[in-house]
């Protein structure tokens, strides 16, 4: 199972050569446990993110970021279903994606600093 260096640093105190401790359970590091381990690591990452967001001095931009992450996570879950989605939902998600990309491009343009000449 591949995990980032950042994630590994976050969980290193839970990992031995043979197991990982997740939710109070020592899970053997074997291929059969890959899904269970991935799900447990995702839960840990979510908890770390929630705690970081909770204890950080909130700003409006931080709040926007947290909310955007939550929305993107939900949309990504649906999009991962790909061809299993009903055609109308897949079409709506594609339209939503194009709309959002256009809006973010507009915002990026509004915030762009003009070149000093």
- Write out pLDDT tens, residues 60-111: 887 888 889 999 999 999 999 988 999 999 999 999 999 999 999 999 999 9
- The per-residue pLDDT for 84 is 92
85 touches 78 (CB < 8 A): yes
In a domain, 36, yes or no: yes
67 touches 58 (CB < 8 A): no
In a domain, 24, yes or no: yes
Q: With pLDDT > 90 as the criterion, what percentage of the chain qualifies?
A: 41
In a domain, 9, yes or no: yes
Mean pLDDT confidence for 3-16: 79
Question: Is 69 in the same domain as 48?
Answer: no
Residue 117 scores a pLDDT above 80: no
Question: Is 67 in the same domain as 24?
Answer: no
Question: Is 43 in the same domain as 2?
Answer: yes
Place of tokens 């199972």: 1
Burial grade of 37 (CB within 10 A; 0-12, 13-18, 19 or more): buried
* Structural domain harbouring 50: 1-56
Residue 1 scores a pLDDT above 70: no
Output the CA torsion 61→7→38→44 (10° steps). Answer: -60
Task: Please give the residue that has the higher pLDDT: either 38 or 97.
Answer: 97
**What mean pLDDT value characterizes the chain?**
86
Full-model pTM: 0.46
Question: Is 36 in the same domain as 68?
Answer: no
């Amino acid at each position: 199972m591949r995990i980032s260096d950042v994630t590994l640093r976050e969980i290193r105190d839970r990992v031995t050569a043979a197991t990982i401790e997740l939710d109070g359970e020592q899970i053997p590091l074997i291929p059969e446990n890959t899904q269970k381990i991935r799900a447990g690591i995702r839960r840990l990452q979510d908890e770390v993110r929630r705690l970081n967001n909770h204890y950080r001095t909130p700003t409006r931009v931080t709040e926007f970021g947290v909310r955007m992450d939550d929305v993107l996570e939900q949309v990504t879950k649906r999009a991962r279903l790909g061809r299993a989605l009903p055609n109308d939902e897949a079409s709506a998600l594609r339209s939503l994606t194009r709309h959002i990309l256009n809006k973010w491009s507009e915002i990026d343009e509004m915030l762009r600093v003009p070149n000093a000449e």
